[in-house]
Amino acid sequence: MENIQLSQNDIDKVKNNFPKIRELLNDYMQERDFQMSNPQIFIFLTYVPLALAISADKKVDVKELAILDKLAKSIDANALDLNLVELLSFAPEPMQVMYNEEFNLRIGAELLHISRNMDKYEQKFIEAVKKLLEFDSNPEAETSMTKTFSKFMDTVIEQSQAKNKDQEKAKIAEFKKKLGIA
């Protein structure tokens, strides 16, 4: 097995960005009465662009609920790459975080909650996702976080049952621009 070395630049990014990300999400986590570990935050934020897209028309329709349900069943915080977990361990985190099993059960409901309440959380989640995207070393690559986030958002448009699809597309384009992935 290849031994991957962590660069000081990567470690510095984690040390600088994760406290800021945690601060941006603090009100949300306090309101929802839980604390996430750094790896859980990483996973959670990778799906927030999907929640942003779902919230574009201010409601969650049946197809969007099905997307969230299917996605939630596939997320497993225990399956996160060990190199990433090691890297994220360089950032401080609270002592009392939820267990991965609880996170796995809860993430779908949390994504649904923020989809339904994005007006309240939008700015902080956009800023947190932008901080996460600073870890995207090759945004142009087909498997990059940037491309993946954009595809998540496009999937919502493709599946949308919105009456005014053009308005929803415009809102998603606005979200993409705010995230820097347009």
Average pLDDT, the chain: 91
DSSP state of 80: S
Q: Is the pLDDT of residue 29 over 80?
A: yes
Beta carbons of 156 and 176 less than 8 angstroms apart? no
Single out the residue of 111, 126, 107, 123 nearest to residue 51, CA to CA.
Answer: 111
The pLDDT of residue 160 is: 75
The pLDDT of residue 180 is: 93
Categorize the per-residue pLDDT at 107 as very low, low, confident or very high, splitting at 50, 70 and 90. very high
SS3 (DSSP) at 161: coil
Q: pTM of the predicted model, to two decimals? A: 0.91
Residue 164 CA to residue 118 CA, distance in Å, equals 19
